[in-house]
Amino acid sequence: MEVSQMAQYQDVFRRYEKKYMLSEQQHKALMQNLDTYMTKDSYGFHTICNVYFDTASYELIRTSIEKPVYKEKLRLRSYGIPKPGDNVFVEIKKKFDGIVYKRRVQLSLDEALSFLTLSKQTTASSQILGEIDWFMKRYMPVPKVFIAYDRLALFGNEDANLRITFDQNIRFRECLLDPSKGSWGNHLLEPGKILMEIKIPGTMPIWLSQILAGLNIFPTSFSKYGNCYKQHLIYNTYQKGGINHAG
């Protein structure tokens, strides 16, 4: 994605997010039902790259999968595979009492990596950047895993704040944790599975609830980073002797 396409962006989000795991058949039927209610966003089918940061002992994700009232995570995100000078986002995502809060700043990839991995101060200055800096000083996080996926996003025709995203081909890697190195990785989901997320500022529209019920589509608990940790990272870390849960 070109930098010009990211010039105008939203830096603060407050919403509910519900996740659903779909089969290819459910996905096809749902898209047909949504056709009159929602429109594809201007980015079309695109790739999203993320680098997740955590403590050496994976404290943030281990806390998150215990489903506490409050949890938080830090990631670097790019839309498409960025070149070194392209802009990316540094994001703090928090969840409290079921509500998701996301705050992010836009930096060049070089500046973001220097800020996150070398603690070099940026030329930018903002309240959100200050919050991220505080987060880093508190947790001392390091890059842990790269996760990418191919996304199609829809927005509501009557309410543009209603968004539905469909993520396919979710993949991860533990090396070359730089999105400019490509979006390749090992698959996280079995073939044919699609992760849907409904992002809403308030209650779900009745028409959407009826469509989901009619197709037997029900909410599930699924975190890309959380499942990657439980299925792969924790095993690899134990093999290396890197976690002591007694602490």
Please report, in tens digits, the pLDDT of each residue of the chain (247 residues total). Answer: 443 444 456 889 999 999 999 999 999 999 999 999 999 998 889 999 999 999 999 999 999 999 999 999 999 999 999 998 899 999 999 999 999 999 999 999 999 999 999 988 887 778 999 999 999 999 999 999 999 999 999 999 999 999 999 999 999 999 999 999 999 999 999 999 999 999 999 999 999 999 999 999 999 999 999 999 999 998 766 555 555 443 3
> 20 with 201: CB under 8 angstroms?
no
Q: Look at the domain 16-234 and name its fold.
A: mRNA Triphosphatase Cet1; Chain A (3.20.100)
Return phi, psi of residue 239, to 5°: -60, -35
- List the structure tokens of 126: 């903002």
CA distance 186 to 173: 6
Q: What angle do CA 200, 205, 208 make, to 5 degrees?
A: 100
Alpha helices in 75-177 (DSSP H): 109-118, 127-139
- List the structure tokens of 63: 């806390």
> 147 with 185: CB under 8 angstroms?
yes
- pTM of the predicted structure, to 2 decimals: 0.90
